Structure 1
Amino acid sequence: MRISIFIAFVINFSSFDCQNGPTELSRLNFFDIDLLKYTAEDRPGNVIISPASIKSTLAMILEGAAGNTEDEIRSALRLSAYKDEFREQLNAYLSLLRVNTPGVTVENANAVFVSNKLKLKKEFEMMVQKVYLSDLRQVDFSYPFNVSELINKWVFEKTKGLIPGLLDAANISPKAEMILANALYFKGNWANAFNSRYTRPGCFYRGNTCINVAMMELHAEVKYAYVDNLRAHAVELPYAGGEYSMILLVPLDRDGSGQLIRDLPYMSLPQISQLLEPADIRLVMPKFTIDYTENMALPLRNMRIESLFTKNANLSGIYDGASSQVDNIIHKVHMSVDEKGTVAAASSVAMVIPLIGADLQVRVDRPFVFFIRSNKMGLVLFEGRIDQPNPVENYVEPAKIVKNGNPNRRLSNPYF
């Protein structure tokens, strides 16, 4: 038997003031950093993933896994070896992915589409519904078109219409036995919205190449730090209500995003957060809309979840009968960032120039890394690297101010 997994994410972001207390270092965060490393390292282009959604899906698989397959998933997620304990951990985690406040909405939905020719084990059927908060539906895989329509309609509804088509009928085998699906929707309003009057074309650099993009501008007090261990600037943008934040990491070097991602496993987000201090910032960052699709099987195999994707997979807790394996895990994200916030935000600090007084100018003008996280638990909802914002046409780059003949020279002050 082969199981396919399809994941859809929609993120809406804005900025917020967060009352961020000390953050407990959660072992679940290790999975988040590993996932970003193995998805984005040494790979060009935009990368946008949701470790929260992927963990939601792996949680359903883990319930039916046994032997090496169970051990590999538990180890990657850093969960307890005892089933009762990791069920409790995952149920609490999934419960956090349901938020409805005036400033932030988070909706996480799981679904299991199972062949009408199969009979699930009663324990698995009960647990996926009660512990993993999943819908359970029977389908006839003999009609792939009907199945794709049903799943796409489900994803369309759960993502408020922002992902209209996740799954093509050609991707569904008539011999398939089960499809696990997840849809995660996030909408947030910036506590301090960008003023659209200040949005104008500007350079976003990939190496020495200037890509003209729409640059937004914000003048506000936010948390900032230069993280010497990462050779990167960090900025925290809060969402309304203070429960969620976006952390922006911008490498000092224009081509430094790859090295930054390689270094992140040695510098946790809680450690970075402890370095952040309030500062008056003039932030300039790109406005963009990005659609991202990825098969997550290879990154997960590199994270030592290997047997799941082979004939040696042990998913004996799902149903009796033939052996099964997971074919692929398809992950799709729609992210849009504008002055109000909307779908998925990412920002980073590229160059920081001291202005008169205490103000800092922070320009996000090169590939950068971002995280969207819950401040209460320190858990990451979304993460990625923005490498190619949407270009704008018919723009001529203004003359550069050159210091001592070299526009890219790093001065002794770490803010340059």
Structure 2
Amino acid sequence: MTTGKSADTTSPVTPPSPWEVARLARSSNAFAADLWSQIREAQGNLAVSPVSITLALAMTWGGAKGDTANEMKRVLHFEGTPDEVMDSAGRLLQSWNTSSDVTLLRVANRLFGSRSYTFEKPYLEKTQATFGAPLEAVDFDVEVEATRKSINAWIARQTEDRIQELLPERSLRPGLTKLVLVNAIYFKATWAKPFSEELTAPEPFFVTPTVKKDVPLMRRKGDYRFAEVDGVKVLEILYKDGDMAMMFVLPDAVGGLEAVERNLTSAQWDGWFAALMNETVNVVLPRFEVNPEASLELGEALGAMGMRRAFNPEEADFTGMANPPNPNERLHISKVIHKAFVKLDEQGTEAAAATAVVMVARTGLARPKVPKEFRADHPFLFFLRENSSGMILFMGRVSEPAS
């Protein structure tokens, strides 16, 4: 078996060009919109990190071949060859890991591979070089439960304990699981202009048009970018360094979020963001925390999006990752597991996410006189966005802030 041991970070490299970053953002955002259309029927608060899922699947795609690779490329909307995408994505995440002190953005990748299984050396070298993802040899044969706990502990460390138990019990199959590819992302930043806690007070939030609950609503009057378009109000709140922003999309109708989500596309939210103008805005926004107990299993959604062969033991081709002589020992994806955490308050935002891909062998300007109003007292969407590229790092729905 070939293994690698090193730190999760790599030597500083030249960041990707604006053109490369824009290409990655287009791919990730288009994938995010497609994925949201598959998972949006889940009830209650919901959050995902499209970037985390994209990076985990990009590492997996790097070991795919033939029709399996082609399907994954289409679903992920990748532009370019695997080497081009992996190189630019790897350099982007390394540039994030050297971000400023006022905004903490950290991304870590790791491969956990079975000690009793042989992986292709070129694949391991490529994922190590581009994603800073070493292969850690583990026991999936006898000590599978201890290994699951160890992987979960690594994820918790990378996300400041915000992502717990990403891999649930019995998610790994003794003797059949051969590889788990993991991405973890952590973000923490303060607002450029924080809210005053003294102004936060409990007020009604309409969970539905007929059901309301008192929740802490923050308030602030200030200069923001704001738009009213397509039956929604859009608000951008910058973080301190100006590189990142949280975008809020609030339907005009109290019960209008379902219709907004049903028609959501990456082109539509690009239009929303392009419509933003400098305004004086009275902002009323709830404190909220999206912290699901259970992980999302994305296999069915990805299959519905067109990524079917990767999950099919008879058709999957990951021979670039591992190519055992016995076809019954070849890999396919068993599960894609994801969990995201987002907390927003008067000071700023903390967000974390992790994604695991489990591989098994076959048998196993001019200011208005009257301020604009942005009163988020009913369900809304949020998008944590990198400003220069427009890439969505986190997105989600708040339907009940107090839950």
> In 2, distance between residues paired with 1:122 and 1:329?
24
**Matched residue SS, 1:330:** strand
CA distance, structure 2, for counterparts of residue 258 and residue 302 of structure 1: 20
Which segment is superposed worse, 381-390 or 167-176?
167-176
Q: Is residue 161 of structure 1 aligned with residue 164 of structure 2?
A: no
SS of equivalent residue, structure 1 residue 145: helix
Q: Is the CA contact 2:33–2:266 (under 8 Å) kept in the aligned structure 1?
A: no
- The percent of aligned pairs where both chains have the same amino acid is 28
Q: Hey, what does 1:57 align to over in structure 2?
A: 56
**2:343 is aligned with 1:331:** no
Give how far 1:81 is off.
Answer: 4.9
SS at match of 2:67: helix
Q: Which moved more, 1:88-97 or 1:31-40?
A: 88-97
TM alignment of 1:12-411, pairs within 5 A: 26-28=25-27, 29-40=29-40, 42-141=41-140, 142-175=142-175, 176-205=177-206, 206-228=208-230, 231-265=231-265, 267-292=267-292, 293-311=295-313, 312-321=315-324, 322-344=329-351, 357-390=369-402
Q: Secondary structure at the match of 1:36?
A: helix
Partner deviation per Cα, 1:41-75 (whole Å, 9 max, x = no partner): x3321110000000110011001111221111111
Looking at structure 2, the residues matched to 27 and 338 of structure 1 have their Cα atoms a distance apart, in angstroms, of: 29
Q: Read off the aligned partner of 1:181 and give its amino acid letter.
A: V
User: Which one has more relative contact order, counting CA pairs under 8 Å at least 6 apart?
Assistant: 1
Structure 1 counterpart SS, 2:33: helix
Structure 2: runs of 5 or more not aligned:
1-20, 353-367
Opposite residue 385 of structure 1, the aligned amino acid is R
Residue type at the aligned position of 1:317:
G
CA deviation after TM superposition for structure 1 residue 99, in Å: 4.4
Structure 2 letter corresponding to 1:379: M
Q: For 1:334 and 1:78, how far apart are their aligned partners in 2?
A: 25
Q: What amino acid is aligned across from residue 302 of structure 2 in structure 1?
A: L
Shift of 1:104: 0.8
Partner amino acid for 2:184? A
CA contact (8 A) 2:46 2:290 kept: no
Shift of 1:95: 3.2
The count of residues paired between Structure 1 and Structure 2 equals 356
Give the residue type in structure 1 aligned to 2:321: I
Change (3 A) 1:270 1:95: farther
Quote the Cα distance in structure 2 between the aligned partners of 1:344 and 1:363: 23
**CA separation in 1, counterparts of 2:305 and 2:89?**
19
> Deviation of residue 169 (structure 1)?
4.4
Per the TM alignment, residue 138 of structure 1 is displaced from its structure 2 partner at its CA by 0.4
Bigger shift: residues 120-129 or 251-260? 251-260
Residue number in structure 1 paired with 2:6 = none
Query: Quick one: distance in 1 between partners of 2:58 and 2:268?
Result: 23
Decide whether the 8 Å contact of 1:147 with 1:169 is kept in 2.
no
Q: Distance in 2 between matches of 1:85 and 1:145?
A: 37
Q: Deviations over 1:157-178 (max 9, x none)?
A: 1112223433344322112111
Check whether the contact 2:186–2:351 (CA below 8 A) recurs between aligned residues.
no
SS of aligned partner of 1:171: coil
1:266: Cα distance to partner? 6.7
Listed one character per residue, the Cα deviations across residues 238-297 of structure 1 (whole Å, up to 9, x for unaligned) are 111110011111111122212112222174433222211111111111112221231121
**1-structure distance, mates of 2:178, 2:95:** 30
CA distance in structure 1 between the aligned counterparts of 2:373 and 2:322, rounded to whole angstroms:
58
> For the Cα contact (< 8 Å) 1:144–1:169, is it kept in 2?
no
Unaligned runs of 5+ in 1: 1-22, 346-355, 392-416
- Normalised by the length of structure 2, the TM-score is 0.83
Q: Per-residue CA shift, 1:343-387, capped at 9, x if unaligned?
A: 249xxxxxxxxxx93212211011111111111111110011111
Instruction: Give deviations 1:66-105, integer Å, cap 9, x for gaps.
Output: 1221111111222235333333333344334424313211
Q: Mean Cα displacement is larger for which, 263-272 or 72-81? A: 263-272
Q: Distance in 2 between matches of 1:24 and 1:162?
A: 29
Deviates more, 1:74-83 or 1:359-368: 74-83
CA contact (8 A) 1:34 1:303 kept: yes
SS in 2 for 1:283: strand
